[in-house]
Amino acid sequence: MWFIDLHKHENYVYYAPVFLVTCAGVQENGLCPKFFKEREMSVKIRLRRTGKLNAACHRIVVTDSRSPRDGRFIEIIGFYDPRHNDEKIDLERAKYWIGVGAQPSDTVKSIIRRAEAAPAPEAAPAE
């Protein structure tokens, strides 16, 4: 999955789990064909703290690992409330992000494992 816009020269051009670091020199046509360095962007699925003091609640977010704990994120995929034993996660989105290279934290791994083991809610019978 490579989406590259070579006409924009920013420090980091990134999309999905892979980003490119652009080079410093730009040729006459505006392109910078060599000195592209590619490496994996470390996307994480982790908890973001919300709630009041001594009454923590967490959102399960997909974020760049360089972002602070409560900083920028890419997507919210669930929530976790340890005080009320309440948790919900969008398994479809979690599996998508893991499939493209995101690394879940240990707590999020256990939340996903519990969500997969839980029986699926039955649909109400149509009358």
pLDDT of 41 reads 60
* Six-digit token string for 117: 């083991």
Q: Stretch 87-105: mean pLDDT, rounded?
A: 92
**Residue ranges per structural domain of the chain:** 1-41, 43-117
Lowest mean pLDDT among 22-31, 72-81, 113-122: 22-31
Dump pLDDT digits (tens) for 24-77: 554 544 555 544 444 556 899 999 999 999 999 999 999 998 888 888 889 999
Which pTM does this prediction carry? 0.62
Strand positions, DSSP E, 1-127: 12-15, 18-21, 37-40, 43-52, 55-64, 75-81, 86-89, 103-104
pLDDT of 71 reads 86
Superfamily of domain 43-117: Ribosomal protein S16 (3.30.1320.10)
